[in-house]
Chain A
């Protein structure tokens, strides 16, 4: 007991110092929050402004000095006006179909190609690898003129969803990420599976894929985001309102409503909110997946 007191007594003075330090820390924390909030306002403001505008009725000015933030006369009319003239739900459905198909097929094709490049020896491995490496720097826009002709004359899928799925399946980038992950799988595991009589396809499915799951998720997330937001190629392929994806539909909506900013704002809100909810729900996986792309 006495020893404890002896230990505690000299600490009495530092308590004051600690308290001062906590005050300093509280101030510091507060300043960090101010910075974080300021940054959040900068990132989110345009969306908030669009959302508020989409709820404004005709009596509410959208171009006024000073700017009016909250609608006095909130209404959903702008939304019904958009939905009456453009099939936004169809845009959604098309985006979901095209993005899901592209993501699934691209991940599958890349995972298949990455396995022999990472773990098998065969003639031509090096040339094939370097050929793929070289394709990484080719800007895709370069291919649009011939791909356009292929779509119209050869594959006959112009103005249908396959036209935006098939050209985007093979991705050298995805092959590389997965090859890196597969290389980290110990050879012993593969050899052991071979001793057990497993064929290569089974090794790929039962050993490689489960062990590389985080990278598979990363590849899928990257492909999903890119495909969901892809605009230029889909805008060349999709012209019928029933085949448009969201970005193409949004651009059409902007043209259609010209200066009716309330309607355009409603259209933007409708397309952005669901995808935001989706990403906030998947936040943890998304952050982990993005981070998993690069390893030290």
Chain B
């Protein structure tokens, strides 16, 4: 075996030292598709962002006009602010789904039924749950009739027509739908933490809460990082919830308009593909900055531990 390994172990390097086409053939389908559906579009969007363009007729070069218009466009600033506010959903989701995972990670009878119920929203699809929520929060909907019969409200509130509430309701929907999904990820992580660590913590005098603080949370680090990245990138791209809850309008006074929603509206409702491309470039820049900050923060945290 040792002989074989010595002979073959160096084999791949020699055999595939740049001459063989095999690795490239394996990569070809992915790379070709990524080139067509990602790299080419990014390059064209960058080009379109300097043009006046409505998809139907050829683009016309206008230089920085679209970007100058962006700076002066209050709706764009509103959308940018809303998208950044939406990021607040991420820490909430992490805290709640972590707590849920710890609760559900218990040997109680029928626990798997509860686990299944908790991820029902995640698999039902954002359109279906968005429609359900829209009717729950309707002026004549369940929330109002329940609150009135409980005596909390005298008059029904038009929740979704209230500019100050639109974004909050959408965020609540995102959080509600995400908790079960992310809890499942944390749950799997919890089950990999050795029981002995909890025993050791107990011997050291930790109560239940302290045990989780000192054992579960550090043990779930990879999952927390993963959920943080995934859910914050999702928050930056939110669209479906806004689309359904505001009935394709983006809310009264653009109260629920996010960057992606505004991009969609400009490109596909108002036929301003050039202007929308400039919004797309800002979205890309926003995501880049956010990811760099993300990576920095994660690196720093790794250094200290």
Report which A residues bind B (CB closer than 8 A): 29, 32-33, 35-36, 39-40, 42-44, 46-47, 49-50, 53, 63-67, 109-110, 112-113, 115-117, 119-123, 125, 128, 132, 135, 137-150, 166-167, 169-170, 172, 175, 187-188, 190-192, 194-195, 200, 204, 225, 228-229, 231-232, 236, 246-247, 250-251, 254, 261, 264-265, 268, 271-272, 275-276, 279-280, 283, 286-288, 290-296
B13 touches A195 (CB 8 A): no
Chain B contact surface mostly = helix
Q: Which of B219-266 contact A (CB under 8 A)?
A: 219, 221-223, 226, 233, 236-237, 239-240, 243-244, 260, 263-264
B8 touches A268 (CB 8 A): no
C-alpha spacing A268/B106, complex, angstroms: 33
C-alpha spacing A254/B125, complex, angstroms: 15
A268 touches B123 (CB 8 A): no
Interface residues of B, CB < 8 Å — how many? 105
B185 touches A49 (CB 8 A): no
- Closest-CB distance, B256 to chain A (whole angstroms): 15
- Closest-CB distance, A215 to chain B (whole angstroms): 13
B27 touches A113 (CB 8 A): yes
Q: Is B270 an interface residue (CB 8 A)?
A: no
Q: Which of B1-31 contact A (CB under 8 A)?
A: 4-5, 8-9, 11-13, 16-18, 20, 22-24, 26-27, 29-31
Neighbouring B residues of A279 by C-beta, 8 Å = 116, 119, 123
C-alpha spacing A123/B22, complex, angstroms: 12
A145 touches B135 (CB 8 A): no
Given A63-B140, A113-B30, A137-B233: 11 more A-B contacts, CB < 8 Å = A112-B26, A128-B27, A128-B31, A137-B291, A143-B41, A145-B55, A146-B41, A229-B127, A231-B125, A231-B240, A291-B188
A40-B118, A46-B133, A229-B125 known; A141+B239 contact, CB < 8 A: yes
Q: Which of B55-111 contact A (CB under 8 A)?
A: 55, 100, 103-104, 106, 108, 111
Neighbouring B residues of A65 by C-beta, 8 Å = 144-145, 148-149
Stretch at the interface among B163-171, B196-204, B273-281, B296-304: B273-281
With a 10 A CB-CB cut-off, give which of B124, B138, B144, B233 has the most chain A CB atoms: B124
Please give me the residue from chain A that is nearest to B132 by CB atom.
Answer: A46
A144-B267, A229-B125, A268-B132 known; A115+B108 contact, CB < 8 A: no
* 7 contacts across the A-B interface (CB closer than 8 A): A120-B16, A139-B260, A204-B26, A232-B239, A268-B131, A287-B184, A291-B187
Among candidates B55, B192, B243, residue contacting A149 with C-beta atoms closer than 8 Å: B55
Report which B residues bind A (CB closer than 8 A): 4-5, 8-9, 11-13, 16-18, 20, 22-24, 26-27, 29-31, 33-34, 36-38, 40-42, 44-45, 48, 55, 100, 103-104, 106, 108, 111-112, 114-129, 131-133, 135-136, 138, 140-142, 144-146, 148-149, 176, 179-181, 184-185, 187-189, 191-192, 219, 221-223, 226, 233, 236-237, 239-240, 243-244, 260, 263-264, 267-268, 273, 276-277, 280, 283-284, 287-288, 291
A137-B291, A276-B124 known; A43+B180 contact, CB < 8 A: yes
C-alpha spacing A287/B116, complex, angstroms: 9
Neighbouring A residues of B29 by C-beta, 8 Å = 109, 112-113, 170
B120 touches A44 (CB 8 A): yes
A43-B120, A229-B126 known; A132+B34 contact, CB < 8 A: yes
C-alpha spacing A287/B188, complex, angstroms: 8
